[in-house]
Amino acid sequence: MGDSAPTATYFDVERIRQGGRKGTLGAAKKKSVAPQTGPEISRRAQRYRERKARTRNRVIAAVGAVLLVAAVVVVVVLSRGGSDPRPAPFVGSTVNVTLGEYVIRGDLTAPAGEVRLHAFNQGGIIHNVGVRGGHISNDVRPGGDTTVDIGNLVPGTYQLYCDIADHAQRGMVANLVITAPAASNTSIGGVSTTA
Give the residue extent of every domain in the chain. 42-81, 93-182
Percent share of the chain, pLDDT over 90: 48
Residues 123 and 99: beta-carbon distance below 8 Å? yes
The DSSP symbol for 64 reads H
Residues 195 and 183: beta-carbon distance below 8 Å? yes
Q: What is the pLDDT of residues 107-155, one digit of tens each?
A: 899 999 999 999 999 989 999 999 998 889 999 999 999 999 998 999 9
User: Could you give the CA distance from residue 149 to residue 56 in angstroms, rounded to a whole number?
Assistant: 57
- Mean pLDDT to the nearest integer, 85-112: 88
Q: What is the mean pLDDT of the chain?
A: 80
Report the first-to-last Cα separation within the chain, whole angstroms: 146
Percent share of the chain, pLDDT over 70: 70
State residue 55 phi and psi, 5-degree precision: -60, -45
Residues 148 and 120: beta-carbon distance below 8 Å? no
- Model confidence band, residue 40 (pLDDT cutoffs 50, 70, 90): confident
What pLDDT was estimated at residue 89? Answer: 85
What pLDDT was estimated at residue 60? Answer: 96
What pLDDT was estimated at residue 7? Answer: 65
What pLDDT was estimated at residue 188? Answer: 47
Name the residue among 168, 13, 28 with its Cα closest to residue 102. 168
What pLDDT was estimated at residue 140? Answer: 92
Question: Which residues lie across from 159 on neighbouring strands?
Answer: 175
Higher pLDDT, 2 or 78: 78
Check pLDDT > 60 for residue 3: no
- Model confidence band, residue 79 (pLDDT cutoffs 50, 70, 90): confident
User: Could you give the CA distance from residue 23 to residue 184 in angstroms, rounded to a whole number?
Assistant: 127
194: helix, strand or coil:
strand
CATH class in words for 93-182: mainly beta
Residues 55 and 62: beta-carbon distance below 8 Å? no
Q: What is the pLDDT of residues 173-189, one digit of tens each?
A: 999 999 987 665 444 44
